[in-house]
Amino acid sequence: MLVSHNKKISEGIKEVIDQMIRGAIKIACIGGEAGELGTNVSEIVRAINEVIDEQGVIIFVDFGSTAIGAKAALNMLDQGVKAKVFIANAPIVEGAFIAAVEASLGKSIEEVLKAAEEAKNMVKVQ
């Protein structure tokens, strides 16, 4: 699940991921609407319930209030659902891309989350 201040950002990331995994997993995009920045906690809750599966769901956030909104959304979930929702400490683009590829290969949610969070150590230019 992709949570950004701008919905176009989350949709753009999803577009890149979909080209690689061809819809192998469900991805929800959350972000400000109609050119406005921001996120809506109830939209995050709705999206969690929409995409969660038996393993759970990983939320990728861009910065600041999106992380706060994701944490607030966790507090609005039933305990059974909440236990299967993870907020990744990972860059939204690289982390979500790696996670989607790993998930599409059938990896466990713990393996997917670990791989996504390792993306923050990725060296892009030497």
Annotated catalytic sites, by residue?
A: 5
Residue 121 to residue 52: CA distance in whole angstroms? 27
Q: Which two tokens stand for residue 84?
A: 């299967």
In the sheet where 85-87 sits, what is the strand order? 29-32, 2-6, 57-61, 85-87
CA 89 to centroid of chain Cα atoms: 10
Q: Which two tokens stand for residue 21?
A: 């995994």
Query: Which DSSP helix (H) or strand (E) runs through 96?
Result: helix 92-104
